[in-house]
Amino acid sequence: MDLKMDAAALNALMIKEFPQVAEDFIVEKVAPMQVTVRLPVADRHLRPGGTISGPTMFGLADVSIYLATMAMIGPVTLAVTTNCSIDFMRKPQSGVDLIAYARLHKLGRSLAVGDVLIHSEGLEAPVARASLTYAIPPK
Amino acid sequence: MDLKMDAAALNALMIKEFPQVAEDFIVEKVAPMQVTVRLPVADRHLRPGGTISGPTMFGLADVSIYLATMAMIGPVTLAVTTNCSIDFMRKPQSGVDLIAYARLHKLGRSLAVGDVLIHSEGLEAPVARASLTYAIPPK
Amino acid sequence: MDLKMDAAALNALMIKEFPQVAEDFIVEKVAPMQVTVRLPVADRHLRPGGTISGPTMFGLADVSIYLATMAMIGPVTLAVTTNCSIDFMRKPQSGVDLIAYARLHKLGRSLAVGDVLIHSEGLEAPVARASLTYAIPPK
Amino acid sequence: MDLKMDAAALNALMIKEFPQVAEDFIVEKVAPMQVTVRLPVADRHLRPGGTISGPTMFGLADVSIYLATMAMIGPVTLAVTTNCSIDFMRKPQSGVDLIAYARLHKLGRSLAVGDVLIHSEGLEAPVARASLTYAIPPK
């Protein structure tokens, strides 16, 4: 299982395809079936009290599985999320970036399935976990 | 099961507690264990190609169950989402608002569980469905 | 949306294809995109204390969406579950059958998505809710 | 995080509390926040064609998180599943046991959340993944 795209290629893909949100998601590491993605937390991600919004964490999980899939199959940018199940387990630490560790468990012709653990940087206990399915369009 | 908050009270709650996103979510109807919420679609919700972003639909489902819970128990604003499972089933119609129909199936002392169907306004087939659990803090 | 199979045809399908479990699932009503399925509760479904086991309720939800799909597309028996999210909300009443109300929200060429509410017969509050996705094999 | 129960104690708990199904689930390893559970596949778990039934895999995931929780907090046997999201990714290999690797991500006073990967013994690619939440009753 060779990589079709490395971290630099994935970051370039985000800037080209999703310019509105590309600065939210920095690919840090890529390995077969795995990516690590940083969300540099900014004011627009916060709710009153300083907690990070649910849609922000959902978006991080979602993009991480997308990028893990692109890393393996190349820029099939029309892949779409069909399902996400996400558990919010702890309040993220304020003033700290989020780091998502995504792993694909299945990469078929038409479906990709993977898991994501989201951590406040530097903390061992994850703040959220998610599993996602992407539908991959026929070539 | 009397309502503790009506549509006007819920809309006022959103403006007070979530000023950054209150304009995204307009409560249209409230009934026991049910709310209807409109998302007036704007450019900031879109992805290239005109489709509505996943985090936007997640956020709509999430806030709808939150508001259905507040309608029943009053402004226990520290309720937090613990789980969401969401299925994205169709591409939303472009240029049309989203309407979420949320229904609570359980409202216990510590957990609320409900379902949401999200439609492009005027279309019969839903674009997404979601189920969510909220943890309700002790009084 | 005409029905391809009615309740009698679905019950016959269960006896032919799933003889080990067919007596657990009685199709009571069929309508476009909807079925109602009864689980006649027996000792083998119970856990100590008289509660109905989780796998029994999972199985009821799973077969209900399968049958709703077969009702619409005919006996494509190789359809397989790809995802299920289930919430267990209340203890089922002892000595009472379970009734599942299943509804399809999407029936595409390759995926079917639906929701199920499971009730102890005669009680208004559901004991469980589930959403399922089936992959439908190409003809 | 010391263990309150080891593999022998967990297997004894299963025989005492769940005698009908105890032979289906053999705890093989226990570590902090983790258990490995074997399902010795038998005819009663199979569907026509030799595939393992969905409720069997659901039950394995469910009991694995239950046992991981008991390992940490002791025999709080009234813990109940509140949510499960499960993805069925591949057909299990016939004639081979299933092995579940369960890991807790959160163990709070009232909720435990964990992930399970289910493999056909000896195969690297998992056949299913699941995440579960248990509600832990107050002492």
D91-139 per-position pLDDT tens digit: 999 889 999 999 999 999 999 999 999 999 999 999 999 999 999 998 7
Q: The tokens of B20 are what?
A: 């950054």
Angstrom distance (rounded) from CA A38 to CA A120: 10
User: Region B91-120: what's the mean pLDDT?
Assistant: 96
Percentage, residues of chain B above pLDDT 70: 99
A59 touches B at CB < 8 Å: yes
B83 touches D at CB < 8 Å: yes
Helix ranges, chain B (H): 7-17, 54-73
**Max CA distance (Å), chain D:** 46
Task: Give bridge partners of residue C100 from the DSSP assignment.
Answer: C37, C118
The helix/strand/coil state of C112 is strand
B31-44 burial: b if 16+ Cβ within 10 Å, else e:
eebbbbbbbebeee
Cβ separation B131–C126 shorter than 8 A: no
**From its phi and psi, is residue C112 left (phi > 0), alpha (psi between -120 and 50) or beta?**
beta
Cβ separation D87–C82 shorter than 8 A: yes
Cβ separation D106–A89 shorter than 8 A: yes
Q: Please, what is the average pLDDT of chain C?
A: 95
User: Region D49-72: what's the mean pLDDT?
Assistant: 96
- Chain D residues inside the 8 Å CB shell of A133: 87
Residue C89, min C-alpha distance to chain B (Å): 7
Q: How many CB pairs under 8 A join B and C?
A: 41
Give the residue ranges of chain A where pLDDT is below 70.
none
Measuring CA to CA, how many Å separate B54 from each of A122, C12, D99? 28, 41, 34
C-alpha C81: how far from chain center: 12
Q: What local confidence, expressed as pLDDT, does residue B7 receive?
A: 98
Of D19, D53, D82, the CB nearest to C88: D82
Cβ separation A106–D115 shorter than 8 A: no
C136 touches A at CB < 8 Å: no
What phi and psi values does residue A24 have, to the nearest 5 degrees? -80, -15
Residue A49, min C-alpha distance to chain C (Å): 30
- Chain A residues inside the 8 Å CB shell of B88: 80-83
User: What subunits touch chain B, counting only 3 or more CB pairs under 8 A?
Assistant: A, C, D
- Chain C residues inside the 8 Å CB shell of D19: 48
- Chain A residues inside the 8 Å CB shell of B20: 44, 47
A117 touches D at CB < 8 Å: yes
Angstrom distance (rounded) from CA C88 to CA D132: 11
User: What subunits touch chain A, counting only 3 or more CB pairs under 8 A?
Assistant: B, C, D
Q: What local confidence, expressed as pLDDT, does residue B128 receive?
A: 98
Of D54, D59, D83, the CB nearest to C62: D54
Q: Above 90 in pLDDT, residue B77?
A: no
B105 touches C at CB < 8 Å: yes
Test mutation, D1, D81, D105, chain A, max A CBs within 10 A: D105
Q: Please, what is the average pLDDT of chain A?
A: 95
> Looking at residue C131, what DSSP letter applies?
E
Q: What local confidence, expressed as pLDDT, does residue C49 receive?
A: 77
Of B82, B85, B111, the CB nearest to D85: B85
Which tens digit of pLDDT belongs to each residue from C60-110? 999 999 999 999 999 988 899 999 999 999 999 988 999 999 999 999 999
Q: Above 90 in pLDDT, residue B1?
A: no
Q: What local confidence, expressed as pLDDT, does residue D10 receive?
A: 98
pTM for this model (two decimals): 0.97
* pLDDT bucket at B93, cuts 50 / 70 / 90: very high
> Which chain B residue lies closest to C108 (C-alpha atoms)?
B89
Cβ separation C59–D55 shorter than 8 A: yes
D137 touches C at CB < 8 Å: no
Angstrom distance (rounded) from CA B28 to CA B37: 6
- Chain B residues inside the 8 Å CB shell of A14: none
Q: What local confidence, expressed as pLDDT, does residue C94 receive?
A: 85
Q: Which amino acid is at C41?
A: V
Q: What local confidence, expressed as pLDDT, does residue B94 receive?
A: 85
Contact residues for D43 (Cβ-Cβ < 8 A; gap 6+): none
Cβ separation C131–B129 shorter than 8 A: yes
- Chain C residues inside the 8 Å CB shell of D16: none
The helix/strand/coil state of B97 is coil
Which tens digit of pLDDT belongs to each residue from B4-54? 999 999 999 999 999 989 999 999 999 999 999 999 999 999 987 788 999
> Which chain C residue lies closest to B87 (C-alpha atoms)?
C113
Q: Please, what is the average pLDDT of chain B?
A: 95
Angstrom distance (rounded) from CA B85 to CA B121: 22
User: What subunits touch chain D, counting only 3 or more CB pairs under 8 A?
Assistant: A, B, C
> Which chain C residue lies closest to B111 (C-alpha atoms)?
C89
Q: Are A9 and A17 in contact (CB under 8 A)?
A: no
Which tens digit of pLDDT belongs to each residue from C3-31? 999 999 999 999 999 998 999 999 999 99
Percentage, residues of chain A above pLDDT 90: 87
| Other C-beta atoms lying within 10 Å of the C-beta of residue D25 | 22
- Chain A residues inside the 8 Å CB shell of D85: 85, 131
Q: Are C87 and C128 in contact (CB under 8 A)?
A: yes
